Amino acid sequence: MSSHGEAIPMIARRSTGLRGEAHVPGDKSISHRALILGAMAVGETRVTGLLEGQDVLDTAKAMRAFGAEVEKRGDTWHVQGVGVGGFAEPDRVIDCGNSGTGVRLIMGAMATTPIAATFTGDASLNKRPMARVTDPLALFGARAYGRSGGRLPMTILGARDPLPVRYATPVPSAQVKSAVLLAGLAAPGETVVIEREATRDHSERMLAGFGASVTTEETNEGWVITLTGQPELRSQEIVVPRDPSSAAFPVCAALICEGSDVLVPNIGLNPTRAGLFFTLREMGADLTFENEREEGGEPVADLRARFSPDLKGIEVPPERAASMIDEYPVLSVVAAFAEGRTHMPGVKELRVKESDRIDAMAVGLRANGVEVEEGEDWWTVHGRGHGSVKGGAEARSHLDHRIAMSFLILGLATAAPVRVDDGAPIATSFPVFEPLMAALGAEISRAG
């Protein structure tokens, strides 16, 4: 049973000659931030290309609850902001559904305004740790009251007289960094975040676009991001690039399905997000970047992926993990069709995503005939080349959209079909996954 209602079992069968253009949804990370910063700006922010998955719609609903006007007219989302520190106290519990990004960023955004808000989510989100965000927010003067282990449901009391904060993140996390920077907006003085490893920088790019003063420098301590508090954020016109994490699925399908040639237009190639594409090229993937350009401060290109029968296993550098953390599940699928060993170290963050993604993928891949080894913060897939994976088993999605989609991609190139116990969570991030893959020629269907 899915926390999204009835479970939707799905099945993927061997498919060849995937062709066409895959118009994947807008970038989820940028969509969340566009709504939140639009709500904290003065005037009307207009957003096109917003990802309309459930996670982002939950963030839009939350911004309305905090007093911003958010509505869709035609293809454009209009956000009438309330200014930094202008959030009103919500009169109901804020339900963030399945979205760790949404809840953690919104907690940061409201933590330095003297209001109270209670947050909850679905069964998966309510198991995830929030202390990694509420600990630094406490330094500003915010207080958090939640369930044991720092879990939702949780009430945050925003700081009445917030203090600026200097915070070194204990683990690389763009969500934690972004929550602290958003909290710093309503605090006086300079808020500083120090990261040992650079994580995705959408928040910094977008904060600068809205008129905040934010600088990043590399020092002996690591990456030091400094935000000057209490700016007036100016409303913006935002075109959301298409999501590289969603692009990963049609791209990887094309690489492992014989005779495929797929174009994925207008993909964000932010260097803090594009690690998967560089890794695939190192493995020998026929993957090219066409029409490279910049949109809204973000680098963008059209990706062309063709069937690549001679993929080789590689050692993925651990420092690349932060730039592709969400893509390891589908990378492990490609690795199953590569020749030799693909070793993925430095990925302990995967243990606390929507599910324990290392365990979920290892169990499902082994069931389908792939040899996998795993440790606390690493895993290794032993591939035997194109046409070597037998399939034929059911994989459990653990209410995790990326696990569900990864196993469906696996089934497109295995000898026997692959079943997934529940594909319902896919709607949270990639609502058009089924029709998009079908249009390319992929045989993915509901198993009934």
What's the CA gap between 125 and 201, in Å, rounded? 23
What's the CA gap between 176 and 353, in Å, rounded? 14
SS3 assignment, position 230: coil
SS3 assignment, position 330: helix
Q: Is 224 exposed, middle or buried (0-12, 13-18, 19+ CB in 10 A)?
A: middle
Among residues 27, 58, 326, 400, the one annotated as catalytic is 326
The angle at the Cα of 47, spanning 34 to 402, to the nearest 5 degrees, equals 60
Instruction: Judge whether 134 and 103 are in contact, CB under 8 Å.
Output: no
What's the CA gap between 199 and 205, in Å, rounded? 13
What's the CA gap between 58 and 62, in Å, rounded? 6
Structure tokens at 281: 């090229």
CA-atom Rg of the chain in angstroms: 21
What's the CA gap between 405 and 401, in Å, rounded? 6
421 among known catalytic residues: no
Q: Which helix (H) or strand (E) segment is 39 a member of?
A: helix 28-40
What's the CA gap between 322 and 393, in Å, rounded? 31
Q: Name the residues annotated as catalytic.
A: 326
